[in-house]
Amino acid sequence: MNENEFDRTARAWLDEGPTEMSDRVIQAALDEVHATQQRLAMWPARRYPQMNNMLRAIAAAAVVVGVGVTAINVLPAQDAANGSLPTSSPTAAPTPSAAPTLASSPSTVTPGSLCTTDGCQVGKLAPGTYSFDAGTVTPRRLTFTVPAGWRIDKDGFVRKGQAGSPIEMAFVTWTVSHIYTDICQHDGALVSAGTTTGELADLLAAQKGRQASPVTDVLVGDFPAKRVALTIPIDFDVSSCDGGIVRFWPDPGPDESGGLCCTPAGSTDVVYVVDVPGNRFTVVARNNWDSIRGDVAELDGIVRSIQIEDAGRGSPSPSTP
């Protein structure tokens, strides 16, 4: 039997058998549905309302102190200490922090502020420098520069590559208060993420279900940070996980709503836990097992272009227009 004959035979065999579900079973399922509460949404449409009060306070404090913007680069700490690499990027020009108007069409977003507390603009990003304002998806105002070919979604994910495909890349920021000790069997696995960058980085490195690189010290511009690369093994069966998805952390607070989740096997999150006084937060640079090398370099460039306002220093970086 050749391959075509086998395929035909197999399909004919599979076509046999019942194709109608009994109404009794459907009704039983709907009865159970009626008695079942829906979970809260996973994605950060919920992140904004939950963070509003805290981040509004942070933003307000930042304005009172006098906001400066300090150029940052993600560099190994020792290199920066040796002065062998620049500490700022003169090409990354922060933009005014006026609240943006959400894009009326999902076509092209031009450089400027990307998000409000109601969500982010959606569309292709024209090459240039963009910002996340304090109180939106980051506790401090943050700018970054993207080349052509990237886009942003309403949740603040800056992406390249077909959504859900094995080449997709993403860049996103997050505030993490709790994490799951097991990304797959995550029901009941939520623990506090501690308060220091080291505690969070160590917890991430120990998360069951992902392979972790050693935790290293880096500088995100002038700010100390911990870096850890976390990979879901390519043969990992995500469908066997609770709810059929992996979860890494929920949005701030222990109620398990929102959060970062749902990546396929073979994806790698490079997580930078940044220590900005009073505002620990994470920057996640994600690539997939089939991501294109040039795109990975672009993602690295985006992370290196990040600048974070420094409320304590009071003066803007030289790159401020």
Partner 1 sequence: MDRALVEAARSGDEEAFASIARGSADRLFSVAHRILRDVGRAEDAVQQTLVTAWRELPRLREAERFDAWIHRILVHACYVEAKRASKWTANVVALSIAEPSTPDATVAVATRDALERGFRRLPPEQRAVFVLHHYVGWPLGDIAESLGVPLGTVKSRLHYATSTLRAALEADARGVTPASRERMA
Chain contacts with partner 1 (rule: CB under 8 A): 1, 6-7, 9-22, 25-26, 28-30, 32-34, 36-43, 155, 163-166, 234-240, 243-245, 261-262, 264-266, 289
With respect to partner 1, which residue has the nearer C-beta, 82 or 235?
235
**CA-wise closest residue to 272 among 222, 310, 215:** 215
Distance CA 68, CA 276 (A): 13
CB of 63 to partner 1, least distance (A): 33
**CA-wise closest residue to 298 among 212, 138, 174, 170:** 170
Distance CA 228, CA 213 (A): 6
CB of 252 to partner 1, least distance (A): 18
CB of 163 to partner 1, least distance (A): 8
Q: Is 241 within 8 Å of 184 (Cβ atoms)?
A: yes
CB of 285 to partner 1, least distance (A): 20
With respect to partner 1, which residue has the nearer C-beta, 248 or 272?
248
With respect to partner 1, which residue has the nearer C-beta, 40 or 212?
40
With respect to partner 1, which residue has the nearer C-beta, 251 or 309?
251
With respect to partner 1, which residue has the nearer C-beta, 127 or 243?
243
> If you write DSSP's letter for every residue of 201-234 in order, what string do you get?
HHHHHT-BTSEEPPPEEEEETTEEEEEEEEE--T
Q: Is 265 within 8 Å of 234 (Cβ atoms)?
A: yes
CB of 25 to partner 1, least distance (A): 5
Backbone φ/ψ region at 123: left (φ over 0), alpha (ψ -120 to 50), beta: left
